[in-house]
Structure 1
Amino acid sequence: MLRVLAVDDEKPALEELLYLLRSDSRIRSAEGATDATEALRRITRALDAGPDGADAIDVVFLDIHMAGLTGLDVARLLAGFARPPLIVFVTAHEGFAVQAFDLKAVDYVLKPVRRERLAEAVRRVRDLVVTAREARQPEPAGPVPYAAALPVAHQAPPETIGSAEQIPVELGGVTRFVPIDDITYVEAQGDYARLHTDDGSHLVRIPLSTLEERWASRGFVRIHRSHLVALARIDELRLDAGTTTVRVGAAELAVSRRHARQLRELLMFPRNSKGTGGTPTARG
């Protein structure tokens, strides 16, 4: 069973989170802290006592926006410890997900917290802790990405990044299926990718290189190390003083030198493949 510390400087939010955690049968104990300083004090005491001590903490459910040190600051400090507890971020803001997972968070739960979504985060933490114990190894030396700690048979195969026509994206515990034809371009964000559509954007835990390989037949081409673009959605190609850019809706994206020639050829002499539409306007 898990030993939990929840951290949030808004008392009602903290009380609600603790109520939900304590109602989960997989939680042995759940204590709260209302600021980062108090949280760090408790975590330090737990680390000094060791994994079997009375004050041990398996996981910290951590808010991001707090007075003084933020949750991200706390996570960075914990990364300096030899055996820190796992971290699950609980926040009202989607925009910090990339930073959170770069800090090896196990999960990223959006407020308002839904019981079902929190239960999924608890399951992920429990899988990590149980896997480590069954292997007769110490608890992870640092927070480990969820899939990396699961047995191979339980990891999602690469083919499950989406069907031929849609890709699943998760927001606040709700899974939506975004039609690939609605995606105008994709932006790399570390080991993640942000899918841009006319209506907004969605963050998925898939490297840009994987999407490039899978969606080449659908007319997506790499134009830069950070961008993958749907050829049919390019509205304008611009050549200016040796630099190349494309306009995709309201976005203007740089084209790297290594990709510029191939892109111009694809746009000026489109092949008969799915996703390649009419020739965009070229301006110099």
Structure 2
Amino acid sequence: MLRVLAVDDEKPLLEELLYLLRSDPRILSAEGASDATEALRRITRALETGPDGADGIDVVFLDIHMAGLTGLDIARLLAGFARPPLIVFVTAHEGFAVQAFDLKAVDYVLKPVRPERLAEAVRRACAQLGRAGEAPAAATGGAPGGPFAAAAPAAPALPVVPVPRRPAAEVTVADRAPEQIAVELGGVTRFVAIADIAYVEAQGDYARLHTDEGSHLVRIPLSTLEERWAARGFVRIHRRHLVALSRIDELRLDAGTTSVRVGSAELQVSRRHARELRDLLMRQATG
């Protein structure tokens, strides 16, 4: 069983990576760090307490491009310790693979992360640490001989395919079935009815769709959804929020600020959008 630390300064990607890691039965614990400073603090504490200590870390799943120190910088720092944790790089960039393996990385996983590809990285880490619970190579597509051997075309190591995979799939499905949007979680694709979405929250290049049952992350910018769903009654109320007009329960004016209540959520309305929103709600109320 592995104790892992995932490091990524993009919160939606970190949350998704942690979800996938925690779903793997070979993972005992999975914690996250959103920047290099926090990651180094946790790793230093783990090294001080020793591999069997309460704060021990067996494997670090490490993004490369981060503000401040990069993932490669962190790996170089760890290389100076006698018993550092293993490193698995998780990145959107193929060009650092040689440097990564020069730093003795266990694996190099490209984003968007596929569950079966991540499972193979976990298998390699288990094998290198001699831990029980390894998945059979046939089940994960693994191959013996270390990371370079498994990066051959027969294995899903350094792929050509995955870079645009999720956005392309979502656009295609949206074109075929305009009443729904495809969302992916843990390798399972679900179809969410657009009519069930109350509001959308921007998270970088991603958007989080909020329904009555929960939320779903899609790799589509909020500006794209604003343009695509304008005819469906979705309006921009803030640089971070897109709301279904029909799902607004209350409009609140308080000391010059405007907000709306959508179910249990209260969302701020920017001054830029406040007047337009009031006019739209008034027209809706009067038919």
When normalised by structure 1's length, the TM-score is 0.52
* Residues 2-60 of structure 1: CA deviation (Å, up to 9, x unaligned): xxxxx943797169xxxxxxxxxxxxxxxxxxx979xxxxxxxxxxxxxxxxxxxxxxx
Among 154, 163, 182, the alignment partner of 1:168 is: 182
- 1:193·1:207 contact (CA, 8 Å) conserved in 2? yes
Which 5+ residue runs of structure 1 have no aligned equivalent? 1-6, 16-34, 38-65, 90-103, 132-144, 271-277, 280-284
> 1:205 maps to which residue?
219
Distance 2:221 2:188 in 1: 21
- 2:3·2:58 contact (CA, 8 Å) conserved in 1? no
- 1:117·1:172 contact (CA, 8 Å) conserved in 2? no
Distance 1:221 1:199 in 2: 21
> 2:34 maps to which residue?
none
* Residues 251-281 of structure 1: CA deviation (Å, up to 9, x unaligned): 00000000001000000012xxxxxxx57xx
**3-state DSSP of counterpart to 1:185:** strand
**3-state DSSP of counterpart to 2:230:** helix
Percent same amino acid at aligned positions?
Answer: 54
Residue 200 (structure 1) shift = 0.3
Matching residue's letter, 2:112: D
Distance 2:240 2:217 in 1: 14
> 1:13 maps to which residue?
26
- 1:86·1:125 contact (CA, 8 Å) conserved in 2? no
- Equivalent positions of 1:186-201 (< 5 A) are 186-201=200-215
Residue 117 (structure 1) shift = 10
In structure 2, relative to structure 1, the CA distance for the partners of 1:14 and 1:181 (3 Å cut) is closer
When normalised by structure 2's length, the TM-score is 0.51
Distance 1:253 1:260 in 2: 12
Distance 1:214 1:117 in 2: 40
> 1:229 maps to which residue?
243
Matching residue's letter, 1:9: R
**3-state DSSP of counterpart to 2:113:** strand
Matching residue's letter, 1:178: V
Distance 1:118 1:165 in 2: 35
In structure 2, relative to structure 1, the CA distance for the partners of 1:105 and 1:246 (3 Å cut) is farther
- 2:110·2:158 contact (CA, 8 Å) conserved in 1? no
> 1:92 maps to which residue?
none
- Aligned residues between the structures: 183
> 1:126 maps to which residue?
158
RMSD: 4.5
- 1:170·1:176 contact (CA, 8 Å) conserved in 2? yes
Matching residue's letter, 1:156: A
Among 238, 243, 264, the alignment partner of 1:250 is: 264
In structure 2, relative to structure 1, the CA distance for the partners of 1:126 and 1:223 (3 Å cut) is same
> 2:132 maps to which residue?
none
Among 250, 253, 263, the alignment partner of 1:239 is: 253
